[in-house]
Chain A
């Protein structure tokens, strides 16, 4: 959806009455809104990590719903690695304006100035500096005691064991063997100074739920999700966006390929897929035919066995 339409979103369909039975999307929505309100009420300084992707877009809409007619009572934080697609950045700024939320942007400028990139370093160290380190620095700088993230449990095996309130020690680290029990919808928000909680309001959503909700609610998402002719470096099955010059191998020429992104990350590490899906229903239809998970095209998850768990222990979302 073009940015211009974000600024005047179509009015949502009126829902006069609850039906006899709530659908799974309405149940998930109600649970997420409950979580957002609990955090806003129990923490001193919450923040919402806004990554511009489809999950963040859903989370942002849920935050609007949770506090309407009042404004969203916490800022949005984008950790910018400097390698995000240009379309993502313009979408981010327009979106923050349209919902009237305060937007904070944090970059690890020291590492960026030193020329950190996933080819000069390996992807693990690059992520460590530009994402994990930057995130921890930002949380410390603003003294946030709770940070919302859009991660879902169905994304990856170690995420399946993540709590909705995920306790982090004063170094921002996750200890999977020592998690607080989480019963009913009663969340333990108590932290000592320096400790914090990562909160995942979309824990129980699946990728399919997210797309269906975006469709039902007319939620704007970045155009990169929709198929279009785009210049790509083609390497076997892999399609690499030409966004950053250093990605190109010697003499490599981009080709125009009808393609789209299934998840939005940093351009050097996010492969595109060949696709004809130009609308959300087409994306949903495509999803049904997929036999690979959405993170299959993320280089960072496959560095080593259990690599997501290791990153999370170190403080990654």
Chain B
């Protein structure tokens, strides 16, 4: 085993240099054959970021010629991936050069992994897009560039790989450069987010222009891929952006101290600064910036600090503290680009949880503007988004929130949607427009306004069972403020009149919970809402009432379940 190296080496100098290093996050995407894993393996290996035991564990395995190391095996971590020779999930890699530390979000390139690409791009300052020189610009390169632009990754480095296979031919490289530049221009026109692009001819297998500049391509006068990564500005444009601070937690260790813990999302803050708390709109001044290591006279994004104000304001988790001079928008209706990530497609009028900064608000997708075809960049009419689909939608929020457009702020303009029933993360969203329709005081009363006031939407609950239990169920809804309308129907005849059907539809449109009741004595109760039917034991009324309330919450009629885990 090693002992300290004998060469003159000053650990003190090393540590001083390390203290100055910053961090750059970049994403990669690629398919089975375009050499992405080889490129990353090469970056790690050539910067001495892989240990010998890790190389030993893969030596002699894989698909390369005997004696060669299959760099892809360094990066494909899951058994299924090694067995199938593919990359199925985002993997994070770390390496360091004397100038900078790097985090790679390494993602697969196939269409079915669009969501993984978006995940990797969401935190990236730069994207390395791979093009196989022997094949030219394929759909996966377009897809990766599109996602990078959509997620506002500023810098795109295009690695034109496998130059060795085409005899290091400059003309072929220039043709790809021209072709892909026009693709990038079309993409920027669609997403409204231009990228800064550099093209590098490389061979990951041979190591050309990855870490060191290659002699094989004297016609290329530019930097190696790693040199470019070392010199890109990291994303600290946020320092000069307007101050944004989502409150994560109120710290109140005793009655003398009340501070608001959070991470500076953008901008700079100093004691004495005038701030406004949104959505309430109350203002105060910063009194102190508190940390474990002592008070600061300035905090910048993305530091985690605790703010103390000069006066007592009612502030809680989810509030956004902003600079009074440059405030954020408070809105209840937004338009957003969505990347759909769940096997269950987007359903309009299904209840989702909108998670934005440090708050979660129930929300509905009211309509789709279009779906984007990444291949053609065409905007297609669509009723839904399937897994890996990308489109623009309108979303109604059940409570106003303070936000910025994603184009202006990657932190306060981003959100995820969570399915309230399955708890899956179903979509990533980027806010493109915002408005506040609920503030209107004229015109027809909208379904959203009713839902916001009553805590439920219009719908039908069919109940068949004993009268005592049905009375108690109705009371449980009444107690929580629901507007119900009860229609008792003779079980023998049912609802036969079109007039009654019309009446029921009108009540639903008026936002009421219509109870269609069939009185039947006995030990069971059946309840039905939104096509789902449950049968319950009427001799256990408490459980039955809870189950019916949960059914209403699942169906999207009630906007919070009985044991409310969020507040409307």
Q: Is the interface of B mostly helix, strand, loop or mixed?
A: mixed
Q: Is A286 a contact of B3 with CB atoms below 8 Å?
A: yes
Q: Check A2 for interface membership: any CB of B closer than 8 A.
A: no
Q: Is A66 a contact of B304 with CB atoms below 8 Å?
A: yes
Query: Please, how many angstroms separate the alpha-carbon atoms of A71 and B248 in the complex?
Result: 16
Identify which of A106-114, A121-129, A138-146, A288-296 touches chain B. Answer: A288-296
Q: Is A30 a contact of B303 with CB atoms below 8 Å?
A: yes
Closest residue on chain A to residue B3 by CB atoms = A276
A-B CB proximity, top 5 nearest: A157-B77, A33-B304, A70-B253, A190-B423, A68-B292
Q: Check B567 for interface membership: any CB of A closer than 8 A.
A: no
A301 to chain B, nearest CB (A): 10
Identify which of A85-93, A176-184, A248-256 touches chain B. Answer: A176-184
Q: Check A168 for interface membership: any CB of B closer than 8 A.
A: no
Q: Is A206 a contact of B78 with CB atoms below 8 Å?
A: no
Q: Is B293 a contact of A14 with CB atoms below 8 Å?
A: yes
Q: Is A64 a contact of B414 with CB atoms below 8 Å?
A: no
Closest residue on chain B to residue A163 by CB atoms = B90
A158's partner among B78, B92, B94 (CB-CB below 8 A) is: B78
A161's partner among B77, B358, B425 (CB-CB below 8 A) is: B77
List the A side residues contacting B263 at CB < 8 Å: 30, 33-34, 185
Q: Is B304 a contact of A37 with CB atoms below 8 Å?
A: yes
B446 to chain A, nearest CB (A): 29
Q: What string of 1s and 0s marks CB contacts (under 8 Å) between A207-226 and chain B?
A: 01100100110000000000
Interface residues of A in 1-51 (CB under 8 A from B): 12-18, 21-31, 33-34, 37-38, 40-41
Query: Please, how many angstroms separate the alpha-carbon atoms of A289 and B3 in the complex?
Result: 8
Q: Is B248 a contact of A37 with CB atoms below 8 Å?
A: yes
B15 to chain A, nearest CB (A): 7
Binding site for A on B (CB under 8 A): 1-5, 9, 11-12, 14-15, 18-23, 51-54, 75-80, 82, 88-94, 96, 101, 103, 115-116, 118-119, 122-123, 236, 248-249, 251-253, 257, 259, 261-263, 290-294, 296-300, 302-304, 306, 317, 341, 353, 355-358, 410-411, 414-416, 418, 423-425, 428
Q: Is B249 a contact of A281 with CB atoms below 8 Å?
A: no
List the A side residues contacting B15 at CB < 8 Å: 212, 215, 281, 284
List the B side residues contacting A208 at CB < 8 Å: 96
B305 to chain A, nearest CB (A): 9
Query: Please, how many angstroms separate the alpha-carbon atoms of A216 and B12 in the complex?
Result: 12
Q: Check A285 for interface membership: any CB of B closer than 8 A.
A: yes
Closest residue on chain A to residue B415 by CB atoms = A186
Knowing A23-B20, A285-B14, the reply to whether A203 touches B92 (Cβ < 8 A) is: yes
B567 to chain A, nearest CB (A): 14
List the A side residues contacting B356 at CB < 8 Å: 186
Q: Is A290 a contact of B51 with CB atoms below 8 Å?
A: yes
B424's partner among A13, A66, A180, A286 (CB-CB below 8 A) is: A180
Q: Is B2 a contact of A23 with CB atoms below 8 Å?
A: no
Q: What string of 1s and 0s marks CB contacts (under 8 Å) between A53-86 and chain B?
A: 0000000000011111111000000000000000
Query: Please, how many angstroms separate the alpha-carbon atoms of A286 and B5 in the complex?
Result: 8
Knowing A33-B304, A34-B263, A286-B2, the reply to whether A15 touches B294 (Cβ < 8 A) is: yes
B21 to chain A, nearest CB (A): 5
List the B side residues contacting A41 at CB < 8 Å: 248-249, 317, 358
List the A side residues contacting B257 at CB < 8 Å: 69
Q: Is A184 a contact of B79 with CB atoms below 8 Å?
A: no
Q: Is A284 a contact of B414 with CB atoms below 8 Å?
A: no
Q: Is A161 a contact of B78 with CB atoms below 8 Å?
A: yes
Query: Please, how many angstroms separate the alpha-carbon atoms of A34 and B18 in the complex?
Result: 23
Q: Check A160 for interface membership: any CB of B closer than 8 A.
A: yes
B146 to chain A, nearest CB (A): 16
Q: Is B296 a contact of A274 with CB atoms below 8 Å?
A: no
Closest residue on chain B to residue A69 by CB atoms = B253
Q: Is A288 a contact of B14 with CB atoms below 8 Å?
A: yes
List the A side residues contacting B1 at CB < 8 Å: 237, 273-275, 292
B51's partner among A16, A274, A292 (CB-CB below 8 A) is: A292
Q: Is A27 a contact of B253 with CB atoms below 8 Å?
A: no
15 A-B contact pairs sorted by A residue (CB < 8 Å):
A17-B298, A24-B23, A41-B249, A68-B292, A68-B306, A69-B290, A161-B90, A176-B80, A183-B119, A192-B423, A203-B92, A204-B94, A281-B11, A286-B3, A289-B3
Q: Is B253 a contact of A274 with CB atoms below 8 Å?
A: no
Knowing A181-B116, A281-B15, the reply to whether A18 touches B299 (Cβ < 8 A) is: yes
Closest residue on chain A to residue B19 by CB atoms = A23
Knowing A183-B414, A286-B2, the reply to whether A30 touches B353 (Cβ < 8 A) is: no
Query: Please, how many angstroms separate the alpha-carbon atoms of A157 and B37 in the complex?
Result: 13
List the B side residues contacting A261 at CB < 8 Å: none
Q: Is B300 a contact of A18 with CB atoms below 8 Å?
A: yes
A229 to chain B, nearest CB (A): 15
A263 to chain B, nearest CB (A): 13
Q: Check A98 for interface membership: any CB of B closer than 8 A.
A: no
Q: Is A24 a contact of B101 with CB atoms below 8 Å?
A: yes
Given contacts A286-B2, A292-B53, 10 further A-B contacts (CB under 8 A): A16-B297, A21-B22, A157-B75, A186-B414, A212-B18, A274-B1, A284-B11, A288-B14, A289-B2, A292-B51
Q: Is B103 a contact of A12 with CB atoms below 8 Å?
A: no
B297 to chain A, nearest CB (A): 5
Query: Please, how many angstroms separate the alpha-carbon atoms of A184 and B152 in the complex?
Result: 12
Query: Please, how many angstroms separate the alpha-carbon atoms of A296 and B55 in the complex?
Result: 12
Q: Check A147 for interface membership: any CB of B closer than 8 A.
A: no
Query: Please, how many angstroms separate the alpha-carbon atoms of A203 and B262 in the complex?
Result: 20
A300 to chain B, nearest CB (A): 14
